[in-house]
Structure 1
Amino acid sequence: MPGQTDRVKDVLRHLNSKQERALCQNDREAGRSAPSPRAFTHSCSAWPVLLWAVGVTLLISLRPASSHPQCLDFAPPFKPPWHLEFCTQYQEFGCCDQKTDNMIAERYWDIIEVLETQGLDLCADSLKEIMCQECSPYAAHLFDAEDPYTPVRELPGLCFSYCQNFHSKCRHVIKYLTQNQLLQDTSQRDMSTFCTMMDLSDQDYCYPKVLNSPGLNSNLGQVAEDPQGCLQLCLTEVANNLRNPVLMLHTEQVGFVWVYLHDGSRLEQPFLDMSGDVMTTPWLGDERGFLGMAFHPKYKHNGRFFIYYSIQVNSKLEKIRISEMKVSDSDMNVADPYSERVILEIVEPAANHNGGQLLFGLDGYLYIFTGDGGKAGDPFGKYGNAQNKSALLDDPEARPEVFAYGVRNMWRCSVDRGDPVSRHGRGRIFCGDVGQNRYEEVDIIVKGGN
C-alpha cells in the first residue's frame, strides 16, 4: 500500500465536536491480570478488541537468535510482581505470578497427602520439579503449546534419560499428574514407550536439558544486543490468512473486519462486511479500499467506532468516506450494519494517495489523515494541494478543521505514550510520510505545521 511515488500532501482533519471529546484511556493496559492477544482459552466473550495487537516494523539483527522463551498463554515471560513461595527457581523470570504459583502448590500438597495416605513413596522433589515447569520461561515449548490449534501436553516434555530415572522411582505418581489414560496405562507397562512419548522432538527444550543450554539461558530475561547495537527481539504472530491487511485491527482492504479470539483463532462471521460498498479493483497495488478504523475511547460503554474507505459514485466520481458505526445491541462480535452515519466525504481526483489513518489523540479528538488526491509533482492548482494557502490554519479563508498541511500521503500514524516515568512526549503524533523518488520521512505533527 505505501509504495507510492508521487509528491503531494496530507491534510489532517480535526472533528471539532463535543461528542468526540472523550479522553483516550486504554482500558486494556498491559499487566499480568490481563491476558495477551493470544493469551488463554477461558470462556470469555470475544470483544473485537483487535486494539491489543500491535503492528511494528523492527530492525533485527541478522545473527541467529536461538532463545525463544514463551509461556503457555502465548505471552512472553516476566518477573513476578511478588516473590514466589513454591516454584522459587522461577521467581526472577518465568511464567507464573503469585496466584498461579499458589495454585500449583495446592495441587502438589493434595497429591502428597494422597501418597502419604496410601503409604507410597512421596517422590516429592521430582514431583515438584515437573509441576513447576508450568512456570518455566520455556513452558510453551515444554508443553507443545506454541500452536493454538493443537492440544497442550498435560505433562512437560522430559528428556529420555531423566524420564527413565523418574519412571523407575516415581511412576506411581503419574496418574495424579495427568488424566491421559494412554499415558497412565503406558507408564505402568513399558518405561521405554512411555519415555518416548514424553520426549520432545526438539532436544534443546526437553527438561532438564532446557536449563543447561547456554544458547537458551544466556541473557535470559534481558535484552540481548549484538556488536553492532542491534537488539534481538521475539515476534509473535497474531493473525494470518488475511488478504491485504491494512492495519493491526484485522481489517482487510477489500472491506472486511474480523474478530480474533485470545487463542489466535478467528470467528467465522466477520465483525463488519463493507465489501459491497468499498471501491476496490483487481489492480495489484491499488491504494483504494477499506483503509482505516478506530474504536471510540469509550467503545466499551458506547459501542461506537469509525471507519475510512473509498467509494465510487455513479460509476465515475471517486471519494473517500469517513463514517461512524456502532456494535450490534445483541451480539458484541458483530457490527450493526444499519448504524452507519456518514461524517465526511472528500472527492479524490486520482486513484492514489488516499491516506487512511484514523486515530484518537489524547485530547479526545478524532484525527483523520487524508491524502491530497495523488499524481506526481502535486499538479493541482497554482500551488498544488500541499501548499495551497487557502488551507493554512491562520488564513481567514482556511477551513477550521484543517490541523496541519504540507505533507504528502500519511499512510500510518501513532500517538506517543510518552516516557513511562516522566511522561515526557506523551500525546505527540508521529506520522510516516511517503516520499516521491528519493526521500521518505517521519513527521511529528503540530497544530498549523507545514
Structure 2
Amino acid sequence: MSRAVWHRALLPRCWFLLLLCPWPGGSHPQCLDYKPPFQPLEPLVFCKEYSKFGCCDVEKDDQISQRYYQIMDYFDYSGYLTCGKYIHSILCQECSPYSAHLYDAEDAHTPMRELPGLCGDYCGDFWHQCRYVLSLLTESEAAIGIEDDRERFCAFLELKDPHYCYPNVLASAELNANLGTVRADPEGCLQLCLQEVANGLRNPVAMVHARDGTHRFFVAEQLGYVWAYLANGSRVDRPFLNLTRAVLTSPWAGDERGFLCMALHPRFASVRKAYVYYSVAVKKEERIRVSEFTLSASDVNMLDHSSERTLLEVVEPASNHNGGQLLFGHDGYLYIFIEQATGAGVETLP
C-alpha cells in the first residue's frame, strides 16, 4: 500500500462527477457539508435555479422557503416587491454548487460566513434598496449598527474574490460550463487533481474528514492507529485511536486483516461518536468487529478508548477476504460491507 495519502482535490468522495483542472485559484464546486453538488431527486420548488445541479434536496429547499416567508412577514406589499428578490437570492445561495466558496467554508483560517459573499456592485444595490433587512438575515454581532454606513455594510457582506462572489459566480462561463457532467480527455480517461495531505504512513487504509468546522481529517493505518491531522496539515502527536493491541494482523505483506475502516457519526460535531471496523481474534476464532467510540471529554483530538461498544461481530477466518467499508446512508443507517461485497449488515443508531 502507498505510504502517502492523497485526496481528490476536485470533488472528494464522489466518482460520478469529475471536472478537469485548472479552476481559477484551484477552486471547485463544493457544498457546505464538504460533499460534491448533485442533482436533486425531485425538482426544487423555492430555489428553482438549482434544481438541475446544486447542494439542496427538497427538504433543504423547504427549510429555506420557510425562513424566507418568516422574514417576509415583516414587510408590507411595497417592501415585498422591493426586497423579496434580494432575500430570495441570498438565502438560496446555500443551494449553489459553489456554496463552500460563497460562505468561505473551505478556508481553514477564517470562520464560515453566516451569509454568502456578495459582489461589490450587488451589495451596493442591496444596501440602497433594503439595508435594514440585515438584522433579519443574521444575528452576528458584527452586523449590529452598520445599516446606515454603506462602507461597513458591504465590508461585512462583500466577498473580495470577483470569480466567486454572488452574482458573478452565476455569470462565469468558465465556472458553469459542463457542471454536473463527466469530462474526459480524447482517450477517454477521466482526470483528477491530487494533493498530498499526509505521508510517512504505514499501510494507510482510510481517510475521513471531520466535517465539524475544524477542518481536521483522520487517517487510519492497518496496524490499528488512527491519526488526527489539523487544518494546517500538522499531525497530532498522540493517536486519535490506538487499537494496535486488539487488532489482528500478521507480518505477511498480503494479509488484508487489521484495522479496515472508520466512519464518523453524520452529526459528529454534536453527537461526537465514531465507528470502526477491524479484525480481531476471540478465543482463537478470527472475527471482524464493528465498534462505537465516543470522543474524549478532555481532548477533541482523541477518542475515549474506554468507551468502546461492540455493535457487531462476524466470523471471518480468511486472511484475504477482508473488505471493510463503513458508510452512513442518507437514511441514517450505518452500512457495513463484509468480505468482497458479498453481503452487508445494517445497524440502526440510537
The interval holding the TM-score normalised by the smaller chain is: 0.5 to 0.7
Give yes or no for the alignment of 1:143 onto 2:126: no
Q: CA separation of 1:292/1:104 partners in 2, compared to 1, >3 Å: closer, same or farther?
A: same
Match of 1:247 among 171, 182, 205: 205
Q: CA separation of 1:119/1:252 partners in 2, compared to 1, >3 Å: closer, same or farther?
A: closer
Inter-partner Cα distance in structure 1 for 2:116 and 2:13: 30
Q: Secondary structure at the residue paired with 2:319?
A: strand
Q: CA separation of 1:113/1:212 partners in 2, compared to 1, >3 Å: closer, same or farther?
A: same
Whether the aligned pair in 1 keeps the contact of 2:256 and 2:319 (CA below 8 Å) is no
Structure with larger RCO (C-alpha < 8 A, sep 6+): 1
Alignment of 1:406-417 (within 5 A): none
In structure 2, the partner of 1:274 is: 244
Inter-partner Cα distance in structure 2 for 1:192 and 1:107: 27
Match of 2:22 among 61, 64, 82: 64
In structure 2, the partner of 1:110 is: 70
Q: Deviation of residue 225 (structure 1)?
A: 2.2
Q: Secondary structure at the residue paired with 1:200?
A: coil
Give yes or no for the alignment of 1:168 onto 2:128: yes
Q: CA separation of 1:149/1:253 partners in 2, compared to 1, >3 Å: closer, same or farther?
A: farther
In structure 1, the partner of 2:141 is: 181
Q: CA separation of 1:70/1:254 partners in 2, compared to 1, >3 Å: closer, same or farther?
A: same
Q: Deviation of residue 89 (structure 1)?
A: 0.6
List runs of 5+ in structure 2 lacking aligned partners.
4-11, 208-218, 263-272, 296-302, 326-337, 342-350
Cα deviation 1:118-165 (Å, max 9, x = unaligned): 978751111101111111111110001124674211110000011001
Give yes or no for the alignment of 1:220 onto 2:179: yes
Cα deviation 1:180-225 (Å, max 9, x = unaligned): 1222322x23212321332223221000000011110000111122
Q: Secondary structure at the residue paired with 2:56?
A: coil
Which range is displaced more, 226-235 or 210-219? Answer: 226-235
Inter-partner Cα distance in structure 2 for 1:336 and 1:185: 50
Inter-partner Cα distance in structure 2 for 1:162 and 1:232: 36
Q: Deviation of residue 323 (structure 1)?
A: 6.3
Inter-partner Cα distance in structure 1 for 2:23 and 2:202: 29
Q: CA separation of 1:109/1:87 partners in 2, compared to 1, >3 Å: closer, same or farther?
A: same
Number of residues paired by the alignment?
A: 277
Paired AA for residue 176 in structure 2: N
In structure 2, the partner of 1:82 is: 42
Paired AA for residue 87 in structure 1: C
List runs of 5+ in structure 1 lacking aligned partners.
4-52, 280-286, 309-320, 340-359, 370-402, 404-411, 416-426, 431-450
Q: Deviation of residue 365 (structure 1)?
A: 4.7
Whether the aligned pair in 2 keeps the contact of 1:243 and 1:252 (CA below 8 Å) is yes
In structure 2, the partner of 1:256 is: 225
Q: CA separation of 1:64/1:303 partners in 2, compared to 1, >3 Å: closer, same or farther?
A: closer
Paired AA for residue 22 in structure 2: P
Paired AA for residue 120 in structure 2: F
Whether the aligned pair in 2 keeps the contact of 1:82 and 1:97 (CA below 8 Å) is yes
In structure 2, the partner of 1:294 is: 260
Percent same amino acid at aligned positions? 38
Match of 1:306 among 274, 279, 286: 279
Q: CA separation of 1:304/1:184 partners in 2, compared to 1, >3 Å: closer, same or farther?
A: closer
Q: CA separation of 1:294/1:107 partners in 2, compared to 1, >3 Å: closer, same or farther?
A: same
In structure 2, the partner of 1:195 is: 154
Whether the aligned pair in 1 keeps the contact of 2:287 and 2:317 (CA below 8 Å) is no
Whether the aligned pair in 1 keeps the contact of 2:142 and 2:156 (CA below 8 Å) is no
In structure 2, the partner of 1:368 is: 319
Q: CA separation of 1:197/1:291 partners in 2, compared to 1, >3 Å: closer, same or farther?
A: farther
Whether the aligned pair in 2 keeps the contact of 1:143 and 1:156 (CA below 8 Å) is yes
Q: Deviation of residue 116 (structure 1)?
A: 2.9
Alignment of 1:370-449 (within 5 A): none
Q: Secondary structure at the residue paired with 2:145?
A: helix
Q: Secondary structure at the residue paired with 1:368?
A: coil
Q: Secondary structure at the residue paired with 2:144?
A: helix
Of structures 1 and 2, the larger Rg is shown by 1
Provide TM-score, normalisation by structure 2: 0.61
Q: Deviation of residue 272 (structure 1)?
A: 2.4
Provide TM-score, normalisation by structure 1: 0.49
Paired AA for residue 306 in structure 1: S
Q: Secondary structure at the residue paired with 1:71?
A: coil
Alignment of 1:48-63 (within 5 A): none
Whether the aligned pair in 2 keeps the contact of 1:55 and 1:248 (CA below 8 Å) is no
Q: Secondary structure at the residue paired with 1:189?
A: coil
Q: Deviation of residue 254 (structure 1)?
A: 6.9
Q: Deviation of residue 85 (structure 1)?
A: 1.0
